[in-house]
Amino acid sequence: MSTHIGAKRGAVAEAVLLPGDPLRAKYIAETFLDDVSQYNTVRNAFGYTGFYKGHPVSVQASGMGIPSISIYVNELINDFGAKTLLRVGTCGGMSPAVKVRDVLIAQAASTDSSFIRNTFGRDIYYAPTGNFDLLLAAYRAAKHQEIPVKVGNILSEDRFYNDEIDRQKLIQYGVLGSEMEAAALYTLAAKYDVRALAVLTVSNHIMTGEETSAAEREKSFNDMITVALETAIS
Ligand SMILES: O=P(O)(O)O[C@H]1O[C@H](CO)[C@@H](O)[C@H]1O
Ligand SMILES: O=c1cc[nH]c(=O)[nH]1
């Protein structure tokens, strides 16, 4: 049992999917996993362990933002022995190359968060990077399932509402979309020598204002979750 995860050691699988939303964790567990048991309800950050194609997999809600996901990632790694961490989140599209409902794989995660400076000091602009083996496995799983994916740099923002940021410049420099956690996930995974990757669904386009309906989101979520689960057991 850790401060924010009320489970016995051994209750969490080595491979963990990390949606921000607790209800997405419930949906993944109920829709995709067999023999599911719920191991966490602390703060309603639901956590479940079950089996995907016979392999143990957990799903842990990570909340919104870098402070929240950092808590769960630290505890999953240090108290429960997690080795493979796959964020399954929504993001806002930024690049014109990205459309709503697209699935993105975050090769790298730029950030405006002070997390990097807190970790490395003022002089180092560390580049949080997804694990290459997971990235390759995710890309291959997507191709195999005929799920189109785009791979590239994303932005992990400290603020959901931020009209002060120069998005055009970030787009010019190749940033595909924006979410709020991957940079910390990648940095902590590097610190503790475990593997991490973020697979994201574009739920809205920040530049055009386009949004998805709940029904449309479900199909894209299922694609993202399938890619992540296939990667988890690869
Ligand atoms: O859908 P999730 O996984 O929560 O991810 C995105 O959605 C939240 C903002 O609405 C932030 O957590 C952002 O990263
Ligand atoms: O962080 C996020 C997530 C979804 N959509 C956004 O615009 N931002």
Residue ID of nearest Cα to ligand 1 atom 8: 64
Residue ID of nearest Cα to ligand 2 atom 4: 91
Percent of the chain with pLDDT over 90: 96
What mean pLDDT comes out for the span 64-81? 98
What topology does CATH give the domain 15-233? Answer: Rossmann fold (3.40.50)
Residue 87's beta-bridge partner residues? 18, 198
pLDDT at 214 over 90: no
Residue ID of nearest Cα to ligand 2 atom 8: 92
State the amino acid at position 78 in one-letter form: N
**Ligand 1, residues 21, 158, 211: which to mutate, most atoms within 8 A of Cβ?**
21
pLDDT band at residue 213 using 50, 70 and 90 as cut-offs: confident
Percent of the chain with pLDDT over 70: 100
pLDDT digits (tens, 9 = 90+) for 131-170: 999 999 999 999 999 999 999 999 999 999 999 999 999 9
Give the span between the Cα atoms of 35 and 51, in whole angstroms: 6
pLDDT for the residue numbered 220: 80
pLDDT for the residue numbered 217: 76
Q: What is the dihedral of CA 93, 186, 109, 16, to 10 degrees?
A: -10
Domain spans of the chain?
15-233
Q: Is the pTM of this model over 0.80?
A: yes
**Does 58 sit in the ligand 2 pocket, CB within 6 Å?**
no
pLDDT for the residue numbered 113: 97
Residue 146 burial by Cβ neighbours in a 10 Å radius (0-12, 13-18, 19+): exposed
CA–centroid distance, residue 32 to ligand 2 (Å): 24
pLDDT at 218 over 80: no
87 annotated among ligand-binding-site residues:
yes
3-state helix, strand, coil in the chain (%, to 5): 35, 30, 35
CA–centroid distance, residue 191 to ligand 2 (Å): 26
pLDDT digits (tens, 9 = 90+) for 160-199: 999 999 999 999 999 999 999 999 999 999 999 999 999 9
CA–centroid distance, residue 100 to ligand 1 (Å): 15
